[in-house]
Amino acid sequence: MAKILIVLYPDPVTGYPPVYARETIPEITEYPGGVTVPSPKAIDFVPGQLLGSVSGGLGLKNWLESEGHTVVITSDKEGADSVFEKELPDADIVISQPFWPAYLTAERIEKAKNLQLVVTAGIGSDHTDLNAANERGITVAEVTYSNSISVAEHTVMQVLVLVRDFVKQHQIAAEGGWNIADAVERSYDLEGMRVGVFAAGRIGRAVIERLAPFGVRLSYTDRFRLPQEYEEKYNLTFHESIEDLVKEIDVLTVHAPLTEETRGLLNDELLATMPRGAYIVNPARGAIADRDAIVRALESGQLAGYAGDVWDPQPAPADHPWRTMPHNAMTTHTSGTSLSGQARYAAGTREVLEDWFAGSPLRPEYLIVEGGSYRGTGAHSYAQQPTHSDEQQNNQ
Ligand code: NDP
C-alpha cells in the first residue's frame, strides 16, 4: 500500500462552497487533433465542483483510502516545518498542481527515499527537478491537454482586457463614476493589430485559432515550423526567432515551457526592440520574463500593458511589483484551474494512478520522465531541462 502526499491550494477563505454558480459543466469528449480526454475507470467527484483545494482533494481521497492507501492532503508546503517537508521522507507518490506547486528540488528528492511517482495535476512539471528525478528513476507525469483550452481562453481574455483597457473602465463603473474620456483614453480595438505568438504548441495554437476571427494579423515563432496548410488557414507569418518576431507586433502572447533557453528571455534588450506601446500576455511561466524589466518597460511606456497569471515564485509575495505595476491585468495562477479544467485534470490524475497501481503503462502523452530519461511528452518538451536554483532559493 502506498503513501500519497497531495499538495493543493487552500480552501476559499469563506469555506468550501456549499453551492455553485452553475449546476453542471459541458461535457468535453475529445481534445483537438483527436486526443482523448482523461478516461479513468470511475470518478468520485461531481464535475464542476471545487477539486483543486484541500477539501476537494482532486476527488481522490475516498477512493485511495478504500483501496488501503494512506493519503495526506495539505496546502502547507514551504519551509522545513511544513507538513509537506515532514511527510515527504516516506511518501511513495507526490501530487501537486502548478498553481500551488510542491517544489520538488534535488534536496527534497534526496530526502524522499520512497518516492516513485510524481504527478502534476495539470500541465507544466518545471516545479520538479526533472534531472534529479531522472537520476533516481522516479516517474513524473502530467495531465497533458487537460487545461490547455482553459489557458487559451484566459489568454484571449487578457489580450482583450489589456487592449480595451477593461480594468480601469470597470473600476470607474464600480466606483459610481461615468467618466467616459478617462475610461477610453487608453482603449483600442484589437481588430487589425499584429499579434505574435511565442511557441505554437497546444496552447499557442489554440490562441491562434481563437484570435483569428478578431481580424488580427497573426505571426509566430517556434522551434519547428507548423505545416504549410495550417499557416495558410490562419494567414500566419513565421519568424525564425523571438527577436525577429517581436520587432513587428502589437501584442505578444507567450506559450513556451520554462527551460534554460527561455528563462529571462523577456528582458530589457528584447523589450526595447518591440514597437512602443506593445502588450504582452504571458500565461506560460513567470520566470520567462525578467521581473524588473517588465516593470521598467511599463513605467517608461515602452509596454502599454502586461498580463498573465504566472509568477516567480508562487505564491508571489504580497509586495511583488507585478501586483501594482502600471497597466497590468495580472491574475493569480488561475487560467488552468477553472472548475471546468479541474474536472479534467482530476480525472486525468485518477487515470494515472489507476494505471500505476495496476502496473499498466502510463499514456505516453502523460509521461514526462520515466526509467531515468525523458519520455513521451517530456522527451519533446523538457529535453533541455532548467536547473531550478532560483525557485529553490526562493521557496526554501
Ligand atoms: P506544448 O508542449 O504543447 O507547447 C510548447 C511549445 O513551445 C512547443 O511547440 C515547443 O516547440 C515550443 N518551444 C519550446 N521551447 C521553445 C523555444 N526555446 N523557442 C521556441 N519555441 C519553443 O505545451 P503547452 O502549449 O501545453 O503549454 C505551454 C506551457 O504553458 C507549459 O510548458 C506550461 O509552462 C504553461 N502552462 C500554463 C498553464 C497555466 O495555468 N497558466 C497551464 C498549462 C500550461 P516544439 O514542440 O516545436 O519543440
pLDDT attached to residue 396: 27
Mean pLDDT of 155-174: 98
The string of DSSP codes covering 309-370 is S--SSSSPPTT-GGGTSTTB----S-GGGSHHHHHHHHHHHHHHHHHHHHTPPPPGGGEEEE
C-alpha–C-alpha distance, residues 283 and 256, integer Å: 9
> Are 383 and 258 in a shared domain?
no
C-alpha–C-alpha distance, residues 263 and 358, integer Å: 38
> Are 113 and 83 in a shared domain?
yes
pLDDT attached to residue 384: 55
Mean pLDDT of 9-37: 94
pLDDT tens sequence across 264-319? 999 999 999 999 999 999 999 999 999 999 999 999 999 999 999 999 988 999 99
> Are 214 and 311 in a shared domain?
yes
> Which class for 267: exposed (0-12), middle (13-18), buried (19 or more C-beta within 10 A)?
middle
> Which class for 344: exposed (0-12), middle (13-18), buried (19 or more C-beta within 10 A)?
buried
Q: Which domain holds residue 99?
A: 3-147+337-394
> How far out from the chain centre does Cα 202 lie?
12
Domain boundary at 311, 330, 349, which? Answer: 330
> Are 229 and 92 in a shared domain?
no
| pLDDT beyond 50 at 124 | yes
| pLDDT beyond 60 at 332 | yes
Mean pLDDT of 211-224: 97
Lookup result for grid cell 536554483: 389
> Are 116 and 198 in a shared domain?
no
If one counts the domains in the chain, the total is: 2
Domain boundary at 309, 330, 351, which? Answer: 330
pLDDT attached to residue 382: 79
> Are 20 and 125 in a shared domain?
yes
Cis peptide before 313 (omega within 30 of 0): yes
> Are 224 and 98 in a shared domain?
no
pLDDT tens sequence across 131-145? 999 999 999 999 999
Q: Do the bridges between strand 278-282 and strand 303-308 make them parallel or antiparallel, or are there none, so unpaired?
A: parallel
| Reported confidence tier of residue 234, pLDDT bands at 50, 70, 90 | very high
| pLDDT beyond 80 at 393 | no
- Is the dihedral angle over the CA atoms 42, 46, 50, 53 positive or is it negative? negative
> Are 286 and 351 in a shared domain?
no
Q: Do the bridges between strand 139-142 and strand 367-370 make them parallel or antiparallel, or are there none, so unpaired?
A: antiparallel
Ligand 1: does its nearest atom lie under 6 Å from the Cβ of 2?
no
84 in Cβ contact with 40 (< 8 Å): no
pLDDT attached to residue 310: 97
Mean pLDDT of 162-179: 98
pLDDT tens sequence across 39-93? 999 999 999 999 999 999 999 999 999 999 999 999 999 999 999 999 999 999 9
Mean pLDDT of 250-276: 97
> Are 230 and 326 in a shared domain?
yes
Residue 7, classed as helix, strand or coil, is strand
Q: Domain of 94: which CATH number?
A: 3.40.50.720
> Are 290 and 361 in a shared domain?
no
Nearest-CA residue for atom 30 of ligand 1: 284
> Are 71 and 59 in a shared domain?
yes
pLDDT attached to residue 160: 99
- Residues above pLDDT 70, as percent of the chain: 96
C-alpha–C-alpha distance, residues 61 and 80, integer Å: 25
C-alpha–C-alpha distance, residues 154 and 283, integer Å: 8
**Mean of pLDDT over the chain:** 95
Which sequence positions are flagged as catalytic?
A: 147, 285, 314, 333
| Reported confidence tier of residue 385, pLDDT bands at 50, 70, 90 | very low
pLDDT attached to residue 380: 86
Ligand 1: does its nearest atom lie under 6 Å from the Cβ of 151?
yes
Indicate the angle between helix axes 202-211 and 148-164, nearest 10 degrees. Answer: 50
Domain boundary at 330, 353, 369, which? Answer: 330
Among the atoms of ligand 1, which is closest to the Cα of residue 335? Answer: 40
Q: How far is the CA of 381 from the centre of ligand 1 (A)?
A: 7
Ligand 1: does its nearest atom lie under 6 Å from the Cβ of 255?
yes
> Which of 270, 252, 258, 346 shows the shortest CA–CA distance to 307?
252
> Are 285 and 317 in a shared domain?
yes
281 in Cβ contact with 307 (< 8 Å): yes
